[in-house]
Each structure stands twice: as C-alpha cells, then as structure tokens.
Amino acid sequence: MGRTTPAIRMNFEDLLSRMRSEYKDALLSMGRRKAFGRLVEVWSAEMGAISYAESISLMDLLLLTGAVDNRRVNEELILRISEIEKRIDDLSHIPIVKVEG
C-alpha cells in the first residue's frame, strides 16, 4: 500500500499547535505574542496560496507568507509617509501671518 499524505490544512493545524505551545508561549514580549497572532491570521487567510505551492515545505511557505505580508505593510507605510510629507511640504509654502494683539 502507498503512503497517504495528510492534507495541508491538517499539517498546518498540527504545526500551528506546536508553534503555539513551543514558541509563542516562550516569547517574553506581549507585543511579539500579538505579532505572532497576526501572522496566524495572515497564514490562515492565505491557505489557498499555501496549499497550491506543493513543492515548498510548509514552514518555508509560512515564512514566505509572513515576509510577503510584511512587504505589503511596508509598502502601505511608505505610501502614507509620502502623502504626509507632501502635505507638510504644501503647508510649508503657505506664508505665516503674525497677528499683533
């Protein structure tokens, strides 16, 4: 008889359970624990892409998915900073009128 390979979802749930008990619970910083929770949300949301990439290990796919989401956040922040800098630049060209009282 041939070997049966558990579904990616089962592997994910098993790995996630181990990571929660062996890794997340060992994190000292509450901020890092919350960040781990946000990664779990991203991984869960992208299970379609993770299950589609059969030739890459599950842990590599989780790391890649986290890196892609970090890149998305970075791009959004860069755009927001650029917009804020433009507003500041626009405001810096407005003459300031002193009112003497």
pTM listed for this prediction? 0.70
**What's residue 6's pLDDT?**
65
Taking the chain (101 residues) in runs of 10, the rounded mean pLDDT of each run is 67 92 91 93 92 87 94 96 94 81 65
**What's residue 80's pLDDT?**
97
- The string of DSSP letters for 20-75 reads HHHTGGG---HHHHHHHHHHHHHHHHTHHHHHH-TTS-HHHHHHHHHHHHHHHHHH
